[in-house]
Structure 1
Amino acid sequence: MDVADHVSEVSLRAVLYMIFMWLDKQTPFIRHIEEEELWMYRYPSIPSIVPKWGLYILLVLIPAILFLIEYAVNQRLKDIIKGFYALTLVYMINGIFTVMLKLLVGRPRPNFFMRCFPDGYGTDINHCTGEYRGHMDGRKSFPSAHATFAFSGMFFMTLRMCRILQIKDPGRHKGWKCLTVIIPVIFAVLIGVSRTCDYHHHYSDVLFGAIMGMGISYFVYYAYYWAEGMSPDEIRKSLANFY
């Protein structure tokens, strides 16, 4: 990659990040809630087990550690840069899709009632007495952003580790390799489950978020690495079969 390629890649991510930040500040769809449904949203409002800052640290720290280990072993800076661009694109695409769905669906969180009425009293959810930002965020349950980001980032690292450790090749230490590559996904699972334990999300929010995050991650990984190790003739044949 030359300088122009790097500028193009960085500029794309900067634009996507600005779109994400703009969308994140928009008001979600105000979904009608029947009084008989309120029992689903009366769970306590407690702090997140994994706060946003903790999630962001994890999304940066784990890939950074793995990239450093990979560079120390292979000394291939170009491959690290390629992986960095792919991972950051995963985060940007995932973030935009997640926020768009949150705004369009407008599903209340399990603790929405307590966000709307902090004192625990009230029935007209169209006239909340709680903090505006708090109860508006309470209408952004689907999908779980913690789940989409955790699974997109950690599943990407799992795919990359499978490639680096040559998981498909026969040889010794197969069990250790399998255990190693699945560790990032275990972190993602724990983060997703925590969102149901602190009543910030329904189970379906987390499940869909996990599937969506892994889907985006696989798509970007395939786009960046599908032709790796193939000769020009093999690439042409593959493209011919694809189209």
Structure 2
Amino acid sequence: MYPHTPPLAQQVPSWLLWRLSVALPLLLLLPLAALRPRGVPATRLLNELWLGLVTSIATAFLFTCVVKVHVGRLRPDFLSRCMPVDGSCTGDAAAVTEGRKSFPSGHSTLVWAGLGLVSIAYAARLADLSTPRLGSLFKVVVAAAPAMVALGVALSRVADYWHHWQDVLVGSLIGCVAAYGAWRLRFPSPVAAVPSGRSRLTPHVCAEDLELLAKEHRSPPSERVEV
């Protein structure tokens, strides 16, 4: 029975959502190429970061769309969309259909899948840096900033009466799982210990190349037999 907020009157309309979920993460990942670990080419690192971002968003978006269609749930403003008369909806048919797709929150899923991966990437790189206690607090703030934006977008869905809090919670979890899964496909854990001289921002493929180079450097030169 909550009032209906038109799509363009939402705090985060669809056009802004895609900018926050895709365009902004693409830009925020660019500085990491300049701060890349030693021995990792900038183009290779940026390629892995962007591929991880696309994987995270695509996985989360696909899963959410399937659940919305097959499970769904009445949105908090469904009666305002339906405007029932004698048991039948008299409102706009498209708005009524959309009013049945509350679970899970697509906004929450996408924004966490995008900005959540950015937070993981910054946390992984900043964890490599040795800083004093004040610097450690600064690292936490920098790494958590994208996640705070995602949290604000998710909470706006409840304030706009487009989702129940359970929809937002589950959507956020889906986005976080997609982001972490996409990250682990290409990079080591951002919290796990890494070998000396290795970075948590070193892609798996680059780590294999570095290991091969190290073995070649350690191996004795082959004996030449002159004939």
- Relative to the length of structure 2, the TM-score reads 0.76
* 1:145 maps onto 2:106 in alignment: yes
Partner of 1:163 in structure 2? 124
Aligned length: 185
Question: Contact 2:73–2:103 (CA<8 Å) still a contact in 1?
Answer: yes
Runs of 5+ in structure 1 lacking a partner? 1-41, 233-243
Larger Rg computed on CA atoms: 2
Q: Quote how far apart the aligned CAs of 1:168 are.
A: 5.5
- Of 67, 70, 75, 1:104 maps to 70
User: Could you tell me which amino acid in structure 2 is paired with residue 60 of structure 1?
Assistant: V
Partner of 1:53 in structure 2? 15
Partner of 2:60 in structure 1? 94
Partner of 1:25 in structure 2? none
* 1:44 maps onto 2:3 in alignment: yes
Q: Distance in 2 between matches of 1:179 and 1:81?
A: 26
Question: Contact 2:116–2:176 (CA<8 Å) still a contact in 1?
Answer: yes
Partner of 1:62 in structure 2? 24
Q: Which runs of 4+ in 1 moved over 6 A?
A: none
Q: Distance in 2 between matches of 1:156 and 1:60?
A: 11
Question: Contact 2:75–2:161 (CA<8 Å) still a contact in 1?
Answer: yes
- Of 101, 104, 113, 2:79 maps to 113
Corresponding residue SS for 2:101 = coil
* 1:201 maps onto 2:167 in alignment: no
Q: Distance in 2 between matches of 1:168 and 1:142?
A: 39
Q: Quote how far apart the aligned CAs of 1:175 are.
A: 1.1
Corresponding residue SS for 2:58 = helix
* 1:80 maps onto 2:42 in alignment: no
Going from structure 1 to structure 2, the CA distance change for 1:150 and 1:201 (only over 3 Å counts) comes to same
Q: Quote how far apart the aligned CAs of 1:73 are.
A: 4.0
Structure with the larger helix share = 1
Q: Quote how far apart the aligned CAs of 1:123 are.
A: 5.3
- Of 86, 89, 94, 1:128 maps to 89
Q: Distance in 1 between matches of 2:29 and 2:182?
A: 18
